[in-house]
A and B are shown apart, each in its own frame.
Chain A
Amino acid sequence: DAGVIQSPRHEVTEMGQEVTLRCKPISGHDYLFWYRQTMMRGLELLIYFNNNVPIDDSGMPEDRFSAKMPNASFSTLKIQPSEPRDSAVYFCASSPVAWENIQYFGAGTRLSVL
């Protein structure tokens, strides 16, 4: 398996624009996690899905953020409208069994909002 695949690797956009980040989990993994990493706050869990259903979105910072998982092989994280403080690296991870907390991370998307 190619591992968790995220796209794009880098995204530069202007304040107010819509941003969509994409993730393809490892085949057969039932759990998918979205994280954000910043210098100030480190790695934070934004939301996670089990079998395509959002289970815990308590880490989503604001209503501007939304995440979907239309099928087992694809998830999106959308920011609309984007703001400069959203600049960060966004990671997606997948796991076969959540309670074991063994998560496999993608390479991340580095987002810069100007």
Chain B
Amino acid sequence: KQEVTQIPAALSVPEGENLVLNCSFTDSAIYNLQWFRQDPGKGLTSLLLIQSSQREQTSGRLNASLDKSSGRSTLYIAASQPGDSATYLCAVGSDYKLSFGAGTTVTVRA
């Protein structure tokens, strides 16, 4: 069974700092990996999708890397803003399913 771990569980930074969120998974036989954002009381919004053959994906201030062999992914958010405050979830796709980590709750202080 795929186990997904996210570290740290919570993170608080001043505005302007870069954010680094980590995700690890136990089974490297994956189709892809996604990073989602979840705001309080809301659903999940997909931020980035990395296929298993890719090493990274970028969208604006967001960059996600994937090292399938070591079972790790990192989400970088450059020049953080208060609007980036949310919970970020890592999800590993395999066998037609998504396995989620517990998330990292980010607070960006103005």
Interface residues of A (CB under 8 A from B): 4, 31, 33, 42-45, 48, 55-56, 91, 93, 98-108, 110
* Chain A: CB-nearest residue to B102: A42
Looking at chain B's contact residues, is the secondary structure mostly helix, strand, loop, or mixed? Answer: strand
Known A-B contacts A45-B98, A56-B97; the reply to A108 vs B43 at CB < 8 A is yes
Pick from B32, B43, B101: contact of A100, CB below 8 A.
B32
User: With a CB–CB cut-off of 8 A, which chain B residues contact A44?
Assistant: 100
Looking at chain A's contact residues, is the secondary structure mostly helix, strand, loop, or mixed? Answer: strand
Residues of chain B from 53 to 110 with CB closer than 8 A to chain A in the complex: 89, 91, 93-94, 96-103
- CB distance B97 to A48 under 8 Å? yes
Chain B nearest Cβ from A39, distance in angstroms? 9
- CB distance B43 to A101 under 8 Å? no
The 4 A-B pairs of least Cβ separation, nearest first, read: A101-B93, A43-B100, A105-B43, A105-B44
User: With a CB–CB cut-off of 8 A, which chain A residues contact B34?
Assistant: 101-102
Known A-B contacts A56-B97, A98-B96; the reply to A42 vs B43 at CB < 8 A is no
Known A-B contacts A42-B103, A43-B89; the reply to A103 vs B43 at CB < 8 A is no
Give the distance in Å from the alpha carbon of A99 to the alpha carbon of B97 in the complex: 8
* Chain A: CB-nearest residue to B31: A101
* Chain A: CB-nearest residue to B101: A42
User: With a CB–CB cut-off of 8 A, which chain A residues contact B93?
Assistant: 100-101
The answer to the question of B46 belonging to the interface, with a C-beta cut-off of 8 Å to chain A, is yes
Give the distance in Å from the alpha carbon of A93 to the alpha carbon of B99 in the complex: 14
